[in-house]
Amino acid sequence: MELSGTIDIDSLSELSILNSFSVINNNFEGLIPEFKKLERLRGLFLSKNKFSGGIRDDAFDGMRRLKRVFLAENDFSGHIPSSLAQLPRLLDVNLHDNRFDGNIPEFQKSDFRVFDLSNNQLEGPIPESLSNMDPSAFAALFLIRNRKRKAKNPNPVEAVASKPQSSIAISSEEAKASMEARASMEPSISIETKSIDVVAVEAKAATTTVLPIQNIEDGGGGAGGDFNFVREDREVFDLQYLLRASAEVLGSGSFGSTYKALVSSGQVVVVKRFKNMNKLGKQEFFEHMRRVGRLTHPNVLPLIAFYYGKEEKLLVYDFAQNGSLASHLHGKRNLGLDWPTRLKIIKGVARGLAYLYREFPDQKLPHGHLKSSNVLLDHTYKPLLTEYQLVPAINKNHAQQFMAAFKSPEASQYDSPTHKTDVWCLGILILELLTGKFPADYARHGKNASEELETWVKSIASGEVLDKDMVGGSNGQGEMLKMLRIGMGCCEWDEGSRLDWNEAVAMIEEVKEKDNMEDESSGFSEWDLSFYSETL
């Protein structure tokens, strides 16, 4: 925003609940303000400004809660303050691209999530505390950045790093060996060697890990197989930097693993690895992904970049803070979504889907993989569709076996998805949201999937089905009833009777959230259920 001027710490200190301060990418200049007056601060993000001069050695004294310190890409000079190194909860330290000099202080902690001192003027030995860090993470953070900037500004840290006696002199071979050694000691971590020579270290539990790579094939996006960015408003990073950054395994789906990674400016991205995505030739794949990259809608998670490997592809998306709808309905985040939130989610999903229908009128399956784990929620619980437009690229057999659209009656029985197939998936999603029940077949795959789904849909008509979490917190049974009708209308077995996408979307839009539904709130147990028995 090109903000500049004085940061008034005294005023900020009156905000008793302020726990994060970020002015990344602005024009603030001069000495660093006295942030230690904000002793409750957990995150301090000043990267990409014009701050300069030294930082007092006691600048971080008393900031016992501080976890994340981003001062990168400024013009700070002098020593790295020892008070920073002594912070007891530090997790992320990002100081790259400044003019810090002198020795690297001894850090109290060693288990960092992000640690980047590259492109400064530091010298001397690597302190003992840092030599105990995971060497591959260490290598990534020093070597990659320094290699990239070497020509511009030779970096003494790299020279230190490459000395044989230094514990951070590490090649990618060594990084891999180190990770293998670590994996052999920790049964919770496994290593897979991938066809494109990506070595993924996957923590089975959601722990921080590193994704080292070797000899990676050229993805055609530039030297070394860089990512192809399809957005102009995002920080550009290269494949090696990203895959060596700290990452967390989010899970493994039917195509491959999904990772969350932090890039240098503090931006969090999600990298999804795809196998079985060889249906398109290279040129067609590029064209398709660029078309997908042009999509812009508030309910469609934007694709940021892609990588083309012969056997494996990578797609990079924004990270959605509140995870998937599935995790809120059935998983660890299940704290009971109330009805207004569920209604907002259904409306957002319908709008996102309508947008895809409009953008891809030539395609039978504008989404193709609509299900609750592919509906993500941002920090306001706004839904974001993901994994759309994969069908054109995924191998047919794999798509038939695993993708949500292929479990519709028409696709599973007659191998002929239609323009109403995504509507079937929308209906299943609506019923899942209303009942809180997991659609039977999503845990299974195979020929009988659609029959199992039909049984599941019918079971909804046979009793008190509304999710109690939702009913308890709302008087909106009238709306729920209307929505149940729409869900059933989308799940009509016979396509002729099934709602068209624009009918479904229009009906969903008509459902209004009301604060008080006294007239209609007679309670679900008293409802006349015959309407949807008829629908079935």
Ligand X SMILES: Nc1ncnc2c1ncn2[C@@H]1O[C@H](COP(=O)(O)OP(=O)(O)OP(=O)(O)O)[C@@H](O)[C@H]1O
Can you say which residues are annotated as belonging to the binding site for ATP? 272
Question: Does 209 help bind ligand X (rule: CB under 6 A)?
Answer: no
Q: How far is the CB of 249 from ligand X (least distance, A)?
A: 9
Footprint on residues 402-421 left by ligand X (CB under 6 A): 402
Nearest CB to ligand X, comparing residues 270 and 480: 270
- Count of Cβ atoms closer than 10 Å to residue 522 Cβ: 12
Question: Does 250 help bind ligand X (rule: CB under 6 A)?
Answer: yes
Stretches 178-186, 319-327, 391-399, 417-425: which one binds ligand X (CB under 6 A)?
319-327
Residues in the chain: 536
Spatial separation of the C-alpha atoms in residues 403 and 406, rounded to whole Å: 6
The phi and psi torsions of 488 (rounded to 5 degrees) equal -65, -40
Spatial separation of the C-alpha atoms in residues 306 and 308, rounded to whole Å: 7
Nearest CB to ligand X, comparing residues 88 and 251: 251
Q: Residues at the annotated binding site?
A: 272
Q: How far is CA 358 from CA 294, 362, 404, 419, in A?
A: 14, 9, 20, 12
Burial bucket for residue 205 (CB in 10 Å: 0-12, 13-18, 19+): exposed
Residue whose C-beta lies closest to ligand X: 253
Stretches 157-165, 276-284, 313-321, 483-491: which one binds ligand X (CB under 6 A)?
313-321
Two structure tokens written together for 303: 């694709």
Nearest CB to ligand X, comparing residues 148 and 260: 260
Cα 408 from chain centre: 28
The phi and psi torsions of 248 (rounded to 5 degrees) equal -125, 135
On whether the CB atoms of residues 315 and 309 are closer than 8 A, the answer is no
Nearest CB to ligand X, comparing residues 312 and 387: 387
Helices (H), 213-271: 239-244
Interface residue with ligand X, options 69, 300, 376, 499 (CB under 6 A): 376
Nearest CB to ligand X, comparing residues 220 and 253: 253
Question: Does 270 help bind ligand X (rule: CB under 6 A)?
Answer: yes
C-alpha Rg value of the chain to the nearest Å: 26
Strand-pair partners of 270: 260, 317
Nearest to 97 by CA among 148, 55, 161: 148
Footprint on residues 342-371 left by ligand X (CB under 6 A): 369
Question: Does 251 help bind ligand X (rule: CB under 6 A)?
Answer: yes
Q: How far is the CB of 197 from ligand X (least distance, A)?
A: 21
Question: Does 475 help bind ligand X (rule: CB under 6 A)?
Answer: no
Nearest CB to ligand X, comparing residues 178 and 258: 258
Question: Does 372 help bind ligand X (rule: CB under 6 A)?
Answer: no
Q: How far is CA 455 from CA 221, 371, 437, 440, 508, in A?
A: 47, 18, 13, 8, 24
Interface residue with ligand X, options 320, 345, 480, 504 (CB under 6 A): 320
Question: Does 385 help bind ligand X (rule: CB under 6 A)?
Answer: no
Ramachandran class of 535: left when φ > 0, alpha when ψ lies in -120 to 50, beta otherwise: alpha
- How many residues touch ligand X under the rule CB under 6 A: the total is 22
Interface residue with ligand X, options 94, 172, 208, 373 (CB under 6 A): 373
Interface residue with ligand X, options 156, 220, 253, 336 (CB under 6 A): 253
Question: Does 319 help bind ligand X (rule: CB under 6 A)?
Answer: yes
Spatial separation of the C-alpha atoms in residues 339 and 375, rounded to whole Å: 17
Nearest CB to ligand X, comparing residues 312 and 492: 312
Spatial separation of the C-alpha atoms in residues 367 and 267, rounded to whole Å: 27
Nearest CB to ligand X, comparing residues 22 and 254: 254
User: Residue 367: CA atoms inside 13 Å, Cβ hemisphere, count?
Assistant: 29
Interface residue with ligand X, options 120, 374, 435, 474 (CB under 6 A): 374
Question: Does 306 help bind ligand X (rule: CB under 6 A)?
Answer: no
Spatial separation of the C-alpha atoms in residues 358 and 366, rounded to whole Å: 9
Nearest CB to ligand X, comparing residues 96 and 371: 371
Stretches 100-108, 251-259, 458-466, 487-495: which one binds ligand X (CB under 6 A)?
251-259
Positions that interact with ligand X (CB under 6 A): 250-255, 258, 270, 301, 317, 319-320, 323-324, 327, 369, 373-374, 376, 386-387, 402
